[in-house]
Structures are given as structure tokens and as C-alpha cells.
Amino acid sequence: MNQIKYGMVIDLRRCIGCHTCEVACKMENRVPLGVWPAWVKEIEKGFYPNVRKSFLPLLCDHCDNPSCVTVCPTKASFKRKDGIVIIDPHTCIGCRYCMMACPYAVRYVHPIQKIVQKCSFCSHRIDAGLKPACVDACATGARVFGNLLDPKAEVAILKNTHAVQTIKPEYGTHPNIYYIGLDKDAVSLTGKEKGKAS
Amino acid sequence: MIDILYNVGHQEAAGALIAIYFYLTGISAGSFIVSTLAYVFGQTKFKPIGRIAVVLATVVLILAPMALLIHVGRPFRAWRLFYNINFTSPISWGSFLLTLYPINCIIYGYFIFKNNAKMTKLFGTIGIPLAVAVHGYCGFILGFAKARHLWNTALMPILFLVSAIVSGVALVIFVVYIKDRFFSQEGKVNEALIFGLAKLMGGFLLLDLFLVLSDVLILLAGSEDAIKAGWLLLTGKFAIPFLGIENGLGKVIPAILVFSTRLRTTNRVVLASFLVMFGILFMRLVVVLAGEFFPLI
């Protein structure tokens, strides 16, 4: 089988919240100040002494049914044959409709180019036979990247032999980032920012 | 207890400019429909306002896309909208509607001023679906944003259309009054005409109120995020603009002024139409800004 659908499994039992993926992504993709294609949401919950920190590494979900691609008026956002959703920087007019439609808020306006950008799974690295920068940089091996359709790939084995969950599956976008041990409290909006009154 | 220690906030995707764009297309579509009352539907009592209405519709619709061009990051790439067409995207539909509709307005207006009744009726008839589409698609733009519960409702296009007609009629009342009062030789206002328009406006105001009520009620019966969006409008940050200005000042008070035979005078109807225009501007702002008020992650 030579069909390819790239995806990622993030094993949250291993994530220590070091933000290395975030920094590696910014370095690799030359992301300007103030915007992040990938980041780690961090929450703190419970009452002393029974407390816990939860981490939620976020990036583009490269959905099977991407709502950004549905609404892009110039086909600048498109899905490659290998499943990666990317933005053609020469076609995007910066209308931000994809940002309105994306349920995961992973898109941002490039402050210099004034077009919309997001995580591309480091498509330039994949085309060169490498893994995405965040995967290579992950200190604990929590991020596993590969072809979800290849039954021998580590990512497919992890996904098929563990209890996995995606973020916001209810929107029917079929995300391709699977989390092992996803914390509902980290995904939901019930938390408040520390230091701010409700 | 959950504290968020670190998160990246989302950027505002739509904004006040988009709200103003919706407002202007709404006014344009509404006043176009008012102008067709006389020339297509044969309501001869509305004939005196046909010309004003079509000029307003055209001018406002030429202004409206300017707000869009300021909003987009790369306005000089706008030609891409006509070259890389995506049929599933409402903005793609809109780029054609926003071209065809003003052209049709200009042709229709030309035949009105030439007193060519047959051609006026033809282009007026073509214009009605175009006017409905040019504003209805704005509702689809918001409706396609599936994660925003305030937007993602089938009511959005019809809500937009009804408020468009309301604001269009209001603008026509306002401009007709100004023109008759200050720029005509007699300086006399055609009261029957203004009351006729006011009744039309009042009817659509009541329909608009009903649609808003059902929208909010269904939000409150929805999922967790939908309930949050509903209470944001009723008790949260948007309570004063939504309940006070949009619905109180902009719909309930004008409806009372228009329908109460004791209170109705020409001046009050004009005041009501001014309040309506103000209220609909707030409706656009509330819908657009409250829709993306909450972060998604």
C-alpha cells in the first residue's frame, strides 16, 4: 500500500511542557514575533496538595474534512495528496475567512506578509525526507509523526493500540492529530487565566 | 479550579470593518427592494421614491466593498477571487454578486431616469434575486464558520435579509424626508408616502424581533458553547449593545412609534427610521464582534 496520510500521535503521558516544539517550530519556519503555528497550552488544576499540571500541545490538525479549505475563496488553502493542509502564500489574499471557519484557532495573520499562515507539518522538510521540526526537537519523544495508513509505522501502531482522542471531534472535521491521555480540562474553556479575576 | 498558565490567544478574524461592510450591503439591498415596489410590483404610491432608492442602492454598494479591501491583507490580489474560484466558499459567490449587482443597479437606474417602463421592470425583476443574494450570502459567510455558535445557525441569512430590508426602508424614509423638507420647492413632506413606508418598516421590524428572539432562545437550549454565547448577549459584555441599543432603541421603540396611531407623526416616524438605522448598525457590530468574542482553545 503506497497511499500516504500524514498524521501525528502526541503521547501526553510523556509531555513535560518544555515548549521545545514551540521554539523549534518558530526557528525552522522563521515565524515572526507575536504569532505561533504550534504552541503548548498549559493549565494547572486542583487544590493543594492534590494538584496537577496538564499540557496540550497544539498545532494544525490537518483535518480530513478541513473547513478552512471549504471556505477559502481563492483555493489558497488546499489539501495535498498526502493529507497535509497548506496555504499557497502567493494566492492568499489575506481575507481571514479560514480563521473564522477553523474550530482550532491555529491560523494567524503573518505580520509582515499580511497573509494567513499556519503549521504546514514542515512540508519542506517532509518533501526532503525529514520529519517536522517539532517532532525532531521533542525532548521526550512525545510526538510521533508518520503515515497513518502504513500499518507498520510507529504512528499507526500507537494510534491503533491506544485509547486516542482528537480535539473537538464533534465538528466533523476528522483531525489527524491524535492525543493519548488528552485532558478535557485542558481543551475546554472553563479555566481562567492566572492573575486575572474570572 | 482550573488556571490557564500559558496559551496563545487567537487573532480577530472579522472585525468592525466587516460589520460595516455587512451594514452597507444590507442598506443597499433594502433600498433596492424599496425601489422595485413601484416599478416591478406596481405599487404606484411608492413611485416618488423609486429614483432616490435606486441611487442610494448603487452608491452604497459601490462604497461597501471598499471596507472589504481595507480589511484584507493583500487587496491588490483581489483579482484572484475571479481566477481561482472555489464554489464551496460563500466569499467566492459574493465576489460575483458584488460585481453583477451594482452593474444591474446602474442599468436599472438608467432606465428609471429614461422613463422606460418596460426595461425598468425587466432589470428590476433581475435585480430582486440579485439583491437578496448579495445580502443573503453575507449571512452564509458567518453561517459557514462552524465553531462559532452565534454565527453557525440556519437563521443567519434570513436574519440578515430582514434586517437589511428594515435598514434600507429606514434610510429611504430618512432621505425622502430630508429631500422633501429642505431641497424641494414646496418644502412639503408627502405624509401618506412616509406613513406607507413606515408601515412596511414596522412589519419587518416585528419579524426581525421574532427572528432574534428565536435565535437567542435556541442558543440557550444548545450546547455548552452555544449557551455561553447566548448569555454573552443577554447578561455579558454585549448586553447593553444587544438588548439596549440594537433591540430596545433600534427595534422596540421605533415599532411603537410607527404602529401607535396616537404617537405617529411624520417627525416621529423619521426619528424612528433614524433609530432603526442606528440599531441595525449595532446589530451588525454585535453579531460580528460577539461571535468571535470567546477564544476557541
Domain count along chain B: 1
Residue B23 lies in a domain: yes
- Rounded to whole angstroms, the Cα distance separating B139 from B157 reads 4
Contact B146 A76 (CB under 8 A): no
* Amino acid type, B154: A
Residue B297 lies in a domain: no
- Of A38, A37, A56, A60, give the one whose Cα is nearest residue A109: A37
How distant is the Cα of B21 from the closest Cα of chain A, in angstroms?
A: 13
Encode pLDDT of A31-46 as tens digits: 999 999 999 999 999 9
Domain ranges of chain A: 6-186
Q: Which residues are within 8 A (CB) of A186 and not within 5 positions of it... i.e. 6 or more apart?
A: A41, A43, A54, A55, A56
A89 → chain B, closest CA residue: B74
Structural Rg of chain B based on CA atoms: 20
- Rounded to whole angstroms, the Cα distance separating A161 from A46 reads 30
Q: Which domain holds residue B262?
A: 16-291
Which CATH number do you get for residue B246?
1.20.1630.10
Contact B5 A113 (CB under 8 A): no
Average pLDDT value over all residues in chain A: 93
Q: ipTM value of the model?
A: 0.89
- Rounded to whole angstroms, the Cα distance separating A103 from A68 reads 9
Residue A198 has pLDDT above 50, yes or no: no
Contact B74 A46 (CB under 8 A): no
Contact B7 A39 (CB under 8 A): yes
Residue B6 lies in a domain: no
Residues from chain A that touch B294, judged by Cβ atoms under 8 A, are 189
Contact B77 A187 (CB under 8 A): no
Contact B147 A101 (CB under 8 A): yes
Residues from chain B that touch A185, judged by Cβ atoms under 8 A, are 2
Encode pLDDT of A2-26 as tens digits: 689 999 999 999 999 999 999 999 9
Q: Where does residue B175 rank: exposed (0-12), middle (13-18), buried (19+ CB within 10 A)?
A: middle
Residue A1 has pLDDT above 70, yes or no: no
* H helical segments located in chain B: 16-39, 47-71, 80-83, 90-113, 117-143, 155-182, 191-220, 224-234, 239, 253-259, 266-291
- Rounded to whole angstroms, the Cα distance separating A176 from A188 reads 19
Q: Where does residue A67 rank: exposed (0-12), middle (13-18), buried (19+ CB within 10 A)?
A: buried
Buried b (16+ CB within 10 A) or exposed e, B37-62: bbbbeeeeebeebbebbbbbbbebbe
Give the architecture-level CATH label for domain A6-186. Answer: 2-Layer Sandwich (3.30)
Facing A43 at nearest CB: one of B5, B72, B296: B5
Q: Where does residue B3 rank: exposed (0-12), middle (13-18), buried (19+ CB within 10 A)?
A: middle
How distant is the Cα of A153 from the closest Cα of chain B, in angstroms?
A: 30
Q: What is the pLDDT of residue A28?
A: 96
How distant is the Cα of A174 from the closest Cα of chain B, in angstroms?
A: 14
- Rounded to whole angstroms, the Cα distance separating A174 from A165 reads 11
Contact B296 A187 (CB under 8 A): no
Q: What is the pLDDT of residue A192?
A: 76
Q: Are strands B2-6 and A192-193 parallel, antiparallel or unpaired?
A: parallel
Residue B144 lies in a domain: yes
Mean pLDDT in runs of 10 for chain B (297 residues)? 86 91 94 91 86 91 91 92 94 93 94 92 94 93 93 94 94 90 83 90 95 95 92 94 94 93 89 95 95 89
* Amino acid type, A102: C
- pLDDT bin (cut points 50, 70, 90) of residue A191 is confident
Facing B86 at nearest CB: one of A75, A94, A168: A75
How distant is the Cα of A129 from the closest Cα of chain B, in angstroms?
A: 30
